Amino acid sequence: MKIKRHAAFVSLLAAGTLALSACGTDQNAPQDTGQAAAPTGSADVECGGKENLVAEGSSAQKGAMDVFSQAYNQRCEGQRLAYTASGSGNGVKQFIGGQVDIGGSDSPLSEEKGEVAKAAERCQGNPAWNLPMVFGPVAVAYHLEGVDSLVLTPELVAKIFNGGITNWNDPAIAAVNPGTTLPDKKITVFYRGDESGTTDNFQKYLSAAAGDVWTQGDGKTFHGGVGEGKDKSAGVADAVGGVDGGITYVEWSFAQDKGLSIARLDSGAGPVELTAETASNALKHPTIEGEGNDLRLDLDALYASKEPNSYPLLLATYEIVCSAGYDPETAKAVKAFLTVAATDAQANLEPAGYIPVPQEFQDRLLTAIKAIS
């Protein structure tokens, strides 16, 4: 399916949409995707309550929150949500401090850091819930003259990014690419030189899917020990595009926009191309660590998944909300906004570089949203 670029989204994204500025990423809209199965388009929404909701946090979801806010204003005339992309840490801090109605974070509340207890205190003694509402795929993008199709396993990706494999015609790469002539060319690794949520998720993926090979751990700083660092997603994408033999990890849209080739990942059930459909398939049966309506995901299980036709390398961003404890006007508006975000707004996520939630997961989200009091 060809996705048409909308001018409104382009201007948003050019200004930093889907940028993990606190996490060090930025984003543009993808050009060409496979079509994901669309979730239910709408649901009953009880508009009203607080007219101007306030939210803050992860820059990764800025573009999606713009989409959500527009759909909310259209569905509930006169009601708005203002979102400040100040980074996940600030989103959690401002939510705990009662300064915002919704916190945005690319990590759930941490019990070890005391965030779970502090958030419950803010919510008048009620638990806060982590609701994953925004998902975006990460591409293993490369530029290799004469090689437009390439298969990599998680182990091979790990070895490339930790220096275990340094040449494109390495026998291990050739073994999973029969019939492909690989050049005798040095692999040039580019990584995010700034702190990046994309780096964190990429390294978590390698730890989960290729833990025997990737022992460097995770975090927002790249630990592979090889390659050249570049600032932001545009930096690594531009660098790969200018070097024959280059490779990086980058948000899907940047690989599309720069005309980079994207490796198919074989996690054990055959090579999987990155499309909206295969990324959405990874979310159909998520493992949830949280209890009840706290939908905290087990990303290790997602990243280590070997499901066929499923692309597991995704970013997930949470909306942090009170399960109860809002004043009635705020609770009503929060529920209306989240319901619209999970339904009406889903149709406009793909042009902005995100993956609509599949029906199966949407049902879980709507159940949790309805339970907010």
In tens digits, the chain (373 residues) has pLDDT values of: 333 333 333 333 333 333 333 333 333 333 433 444 445 567 889 999 999 999 998 877 888 899 999 999 999 999 999 999 887 888 999 999 999 999 998 888 989 889 999 999 999 999 999 999 988 889 999 999 999 999 999 999 999 999 999 999 999 999 999 999 999 999 999 999 887 778 888 999 999 999 999 999 998 889 999 999 998 888 999 999 999 999 999 888 788 889 999 999 999 999 999 998 898 888 776 788 899 999 998 888 889 989 999 999 998 889 999 999 999 999 999 999 999 999 999 989 888 778 888 787 889 999 999 999 9
Is 103 annotated as ligand-binding? no
| Cα separation, 161 vs 148, whole angstroms | 20
* Contact predicate 61/134, CB 8 Å: yes
Is 197 within any annotated ligand binding site?
yes
11 is in an annotated binding site: no
Q: Determine the angle formed by the axes of helices 197-209 and 154-161, rounding to 10 degrees.
A: 130
Q: Is 59 annotated as a binding residue?
A: yes
Q: Which of 199, 195, 234, 203 is nearest to 89 (CA)?
A: 195
25 is annotated as contributing to ligand binding: no
Helix (H) or strand (E) holding 201: helix 197-209
pTM value?
A: 0.71
Question: Structural domains in the chain?
Answer: 7-136+284-305+315-371 (3.40.190.10), 138-278 (3.40.190.10)
Q: How far apart are CA 321 and CA 294, in angstroms?
A: 10
Give the largest Cα separation in the chain, rounded: 66
HSE, side-chain direction, 13 A CA sphere, residue 52:
1
DSSP code for 203 = H
| Ligand-binding site membership of 69 (annotated) | no
